[in-house]
Every structure is written in C-alpha cells, then in structure tokens.
C-alpha cells in the first residue's frame, strides 16, 4: 500500500492524576484503544482514496490516566477503498502506527514534567 501522510493532528490529550477515592465511588477506568477510519474521498480517475485515521485512547497507569484523540489524513495511492472493513489487521496497524508514536512521545514528555522523574515509556502490543 503506497501512502502519502499528512501531519499528525492532536485533537485532544489529557493527563490526569489518579484519584482512587473518586474511583471507589465511580469505577476504575480501563485502558482502551480504538482506531477508526473516515472516508474523505474516492478518486476513481487517480485510483486513490483519502481517509482520516482516528485513534481514541485511554491508558491507565498506577499514578495517572491519559486519554485523548489523535488523527491523520492519509492518501492511499493505487487503491480504491469502499469501506474501512476492507483493511486487513496488519494494514490497520500500519495506518495507526504514527498515531501511537505521537501518544508515546507526548506521554513520555508530559510524565517527565508531571512526575519530576524520567518519563514513562508506553509499550503497545498488537
């Protein structure tokens, strides 16, 4: 798949210290990642599809919870995509990889400042 990627965009990024008393009454948050794709344009003539990859995330650690939304516009050359479900799991992972990298980078920097210690490195498993 030949891709032309626009710059990643941070729609939202939240860092919250854990409040265990609040969680006792309201429930403990759960780590979650969801990647969705929005079809922007199908260009039959150029045989290209433009999509927006959107990653919504929540990461729960002992000291904090991060959550947010990051996105990226991507042109897929030499392929017409009619539905996002046409992507294979490896393709989904490849399309989402730069978004996960942004979350890793921001989390490292924010936790370094917030916790006044070396930043937290997030590890993602497929």
35 lies in a domain?
A: yes
What CATH number did the domain enclosing 47 receive? 3.10.420.10
11 lies in a domain?
A: yes
User: What average pLDDT does the chain have?
Assistant: 94
Buried/exposed code over 90-125 (b: 16+ C-beta within 10 A; e: otherwise): eebeebbebbbebbbebbeebbeeeeeeebbebeee
Task: Reduce the DSSP state of residue 126 to 3 states and report it.
Answer: coil
| Domain boundaries, position 105 | 2-115
120 lies in a domain?
A: no
68 lies in a domain?
A: yes
122 lies in a domain?
A: no
Model pLDDT, residue 63 = 92
56 lies in a domain?
A: yes
What digits encode the pLDDT tens for the residues 86-112? 999 999 999 999 999 999 999 999 999
Average of pLDDT values for 68-83? Answer: 96
31 lies in a domain?
A: yes
Query: Would the pLDDT of 5 be above 80?
Result: yes
Average of pLDDT values for 2-13? Answer: 97
Is residue 126 very low, low, confident or very high in pLDDT (cuts 50, 70, 90)?
Answer: low
Give the predicted TM-score (pTM) of the model: 0.91
53 lies in a domain?
A: yes
Number of folded domains that form the chain: 1
Average of pLDDT values for 57-68? Answer: 96
Q: Can you say whether residue 25 is alpha, beta or left, with left for phi > 0 and alpha for psi between -120 and 50 degrees?
A: alpha
Would you tell me how many other CB atoms lie within 10 Å of the CB of residue 82? 9
């Amino acid at each position: 798949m030949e891709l032309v990627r626009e710059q990643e965009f941070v729609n939202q990024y939240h860092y919250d210290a854990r409040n265990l008393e609040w969680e006792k009454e309201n429930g403990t948050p759960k780590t979650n990642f969801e990647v969705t794709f929005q079809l922007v344009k199908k260009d039959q003539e150029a045989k290209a599809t433009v999509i927006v990859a959107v990653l919504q995330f929540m990461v729960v650690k002992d000291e904090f919870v991060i959550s947010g939304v990051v996105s990226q516009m991507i042109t897929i050359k030499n392929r017409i995509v009619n539905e996002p479900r046409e992507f294979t799991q490896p393709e989904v992972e490849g399309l989402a990889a730069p978004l996960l990298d942004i979350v890793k980078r921001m989390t490292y920097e924010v936790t370094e400042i917030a916790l006044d210690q070396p930043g937290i490195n997030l590890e993602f498993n497929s």
